[in-house]
Structures are given as C-alpha cells and as structure tokens.
Amino acid sequence: MKWLEKLAAAFALMGGLCALLVAAMTLWSVIGRNLFAHPVQGDIELSQIGIALAIALCLPWCQLRRGNIIVDFFTQAAPERVNGALDRFGALLLAVMLGLLAWRTGMGALAVDEAGEQTMILGLPMWWAYAILAPGLALTAVIAVAQAVRRGDA
C-alpha cells in the first residue's frame, strides 16, 4: 500500500526533524550554560518530550522496513512457509500491542488534561505530551496489521 509508505515516510521525516531540533536545543543549552551561565529553561523537559515524539514518529517506518530485531535462532532451519506464518503472527501481536498503546496513550492524554497536570519547569500542559505519541503508535499498528494480512507486504 503506497499510502502507508508515504505516510510512514512523512512521519519519519518529522521524527528526524524533531530529533535534530532537540539536538540543536541541547547544544544551545550547553553553550549557554557554559559560556553565559544561562541554559535553555526546561531543556530536560523539552528533550524528554521531543525524543519521545521522535521515536513514536519513526516507529511506523521501522516497522514498514522490518527494522525491528528478529530472534530467529530456533526457526533458522524452519521452512519459509513456517517463518512467514510466524512473521505474520508476530506482526499481528505487534499490531494488538501498539493499538492498545495508542488507545491508552490517548486516554491518558484525556485523563492528564482533566487533572490539569503541567511540566515542572515550563508549566506546559502534560496532556499534549501524551497525545502527540498516539498517531505514531496507531500508524505502526495499522502497518503491522497490513503486514499480517498481506503476507508481510505493507
């Protein structure tokens, strides 16, 4: 499915950009701390949220390209048909797990919003830190379902 590949690529590019922005902010903060005694306020909070977002956005591309670790020690000698079935079953299990994670992350965002939680230093609303993770998790689940149904091809 070409649309899944294009969407996963767009997510991965956004994830890479997010990681680059975190790296630039960290560099600026370190320089500011050491040269001017003035780091970026909330740099740790922003780094944690930014890298979590980058990872969540890159997961769909990783799944699409089969970048996850596969332990095939016990199945090396198995016929291709058996390995294919195990791969599809693994993709289905991953889809269920990530679907649950996306759902619970979304529900967690609603609960945190209702509670009015904020980050310690910057006072940013915590709900959006949860909410921004859900799309990457959900897209990874959709890709895994497509791989399970289409014999590994997404």
pLDDT in tens, 134-152: 999 999 999 999 999 986 4
pLDDT in tens, 24-71: 999 999 999 999 999 999 999 999 999 999 999 999 999 999 888 777
Residue 85 to residue 78: CA distance in whole angstroms: 11
Name the token pair of 149: 């149904």
The residue extents of the domains of the chain are 2-71+78-149
pLDDT in tens, 94-129: 999 999 999 999 999 999 999 999 999 999 999 999
Name the token pair of 107: 């529900």
| pTM (whole model) above 0.85 | yes
Positive or negative torsion for Cα 141, 146, 152, 154: negative
The set of residues, in sequence order, having a beta carbon less than 8 Å from that of 92 and lying 6+ positions away, is 144, 145, 148
Cβ atoms 54, 23 nearer than 8 A: no
